[in-house]
Amino acid sequence: MSNSYNIDPALLERFSSFKSKKSFLLSFEGIEGAGKSTQIIRFKDKLEQDGYDVLLVREPGGTVFGEHLREAILHSESPLDPIAEAHLFASSRAQLLFEKTLKHLERPNSVVIYDRYIDSSIAYQGVARGLGVEKILEIHAHAPLTTLPQKTFYIRISLECSLKRQAARNQEKDYFESENNNFYQKLIDGYDQAQQLFPQRFSIIDGEQDIDHVFSQICQAWESLLL
Ligand code: TYD
């Protein structure tokens, strides 16, 4: 497989989407202000109405161990070295896969929805923190971390839109939310790189539309997965 980011093809080949026609591993991605949480809740309700057994998890976190790591990262009193950060996120991810996700997916008609997954590590630690996309893939190159979603809904908004929505929310900022505009622009670039490496898995959702329109784009992408 050739790619424009000079990632070792043998490394990329270690990754594959979760394979099943009866159960689904899905993820949502987006920068601050994309409207991810609102859409996830609505999508979960829809899937439950359609008869699926849905487990919604967030990263970092989702297990007792992962929630400890979440606290350690997002409320760290001193800036973390990017490689420490990347390993902590991957560690939380591996534990969640092992402890909950893969077991849940053994049941037919089950769905696990991730609020952030590996593409957050690619965008935040790989590109915005500067470790490089290849380093993130290397860190994830062992099972169960090589399991990718069948579909990733990337709710894409511009830097301007993110800043406007963050200002309107006027919330206290956590570890990443206090970063500057340059950091946010790198996140957008990082997600674009992830999308180019995994074009089939990614559905780009225009997050600047109104809530109903965004939701209908998500539903369309989901239905195309079922075809
Ligand atoms: P959270 O409060 O869950 O953010 P959001 O509501 O925006 O999803 O905090 C998670 C933060 O951690 C978020 O800023 C993105 C960051 N993050 C990474 O940097 N790398 C990762 O691999 C993951 C999963 C999250």
Transcribe 12-27 into DSSP letters: HTT-EE---SS-EEEE
3-state secondary structure 63-110: CHHHHHHHHHHHCCCCCCCHHHHHHHHHHHHHHHHHHHHHHHCCCCCE
Decide if 166 contacts 100 (C-beta within 8 A).
no
Token pair recorded at residue 186: 């790198």
CA–CA separation, 205 and 154 (whole Å):
6
Helix (H/G/I), strand (E/B), else coil: 37: helix
* 69 pLDDT above the threshold of 60: yes
Closest by Cα among 150, 194, 152 to 17: 150
Please check the confidence at residue 4 and state whether its pLDDT lies above 70.
no
202 lines ligand 1 (CB under 6 A): no
- What atom in ligand 1 is closest to the CA of residue 60? 24
From the alpha carbon of 177, which atom of ligand 1 is closest? 14
Average pLDDT over residues 51-79: 96
Which residue has the CA at smallest separation from atom 25 of ligand 1?
120
Q: Is 143 helix (H, G, I), strand (E, B) or coil?
A: coil
How far, in Å, is the centroid of ligand 1 from the Cα of 227? Answer: 31
Residue nearest to atom 22 of ligand 1 (CA): 121
- Residue 172 confidence (pLDDT): 81
Q: Please choose from 101, 114, 176 the residue to mutate so as to test ligand 1's pocket, defined by most ligand atoms within 8 A of CB.
A: 176
User: Binning pLDDT at 50, 70 and 90, where does residue 1 land?
Assistant: very low
Confidence of residue 175 (pLDDT cuts 50, 70, 90): confident
Is there an atom of ligand 1 within 6 Å of 32 CB?
yes
For residue 156, the cross-strand partners are 206
The two structure tokens encoding residue 17? 């989407």
Work out the widest C-alpha separation in the chain, in whole angstroms. 48
Q: Give the contacts of 77 (CB within 8 A, at least 6 positions apart).
A: none
pLDDT at position 5, please? 76
pLDDT (0 to 100) of residue 107: 96
Nearest atom in ligand 1 to the alpha carbon of residue 31 is: 7
Burial class (CB in 10 A: 0-12, 13-18, 19+), 146: middle
Residue 182 has pLDDT above 80, yes or no: yes
Mean pLDDT of 66-81: 95
Query: Nearest residue CA, atom 2 of ligand 1?
Result: 174
pLDDT at 2: 54
Residue nearest to atom 20 of ligand 1 (CA): 121
116 Cβ closer than 6 Å to some ligand 1 atom: yes
Mean pLDDT for 100-122 is: 98
Protein residue closest via CA to atom 24 of ligand 1: 59
- Residue labelled with tokens 């990262």: 73
Q: Mind listing the domains of the chain with CATH numbers?
A: 9-226 (3.40.50.300)
In this predicted structure, what is the pLDDT of residue 6?
Answer: 87
Task: Kindly state if the Cβ of 201 falls inside 6 Å of ligand 1.
Answer: no
Q: Fill in the DSSP letter of residue 153.
A: E
Which structure tokens are listed for 52?
């699926």
Rounded CA separation 152/204 (Å): 8
What is the DSSP secondary structure assignment for residue 127, as one 8-state letter? I
| pTM of the predicted structure, to 2 decimals | 0.96
pLDDT > 70: percent of the chain: 98
CA distance 25 to 101: 8
Of 135 and 180, the structure prediction assigns the larger pLDDT to 135
Structure confidence at residue 170 (pLDDT): 80
Model confidence pLDDT, tens digit, residues 5-26: 789 999 999 999 999 989 999 9
Q: Is 219 helix (H, G, I), strand (E, B) or coil?
A: helix
- CA–centroid distance, 59 to ligand 1, in Å, is 7
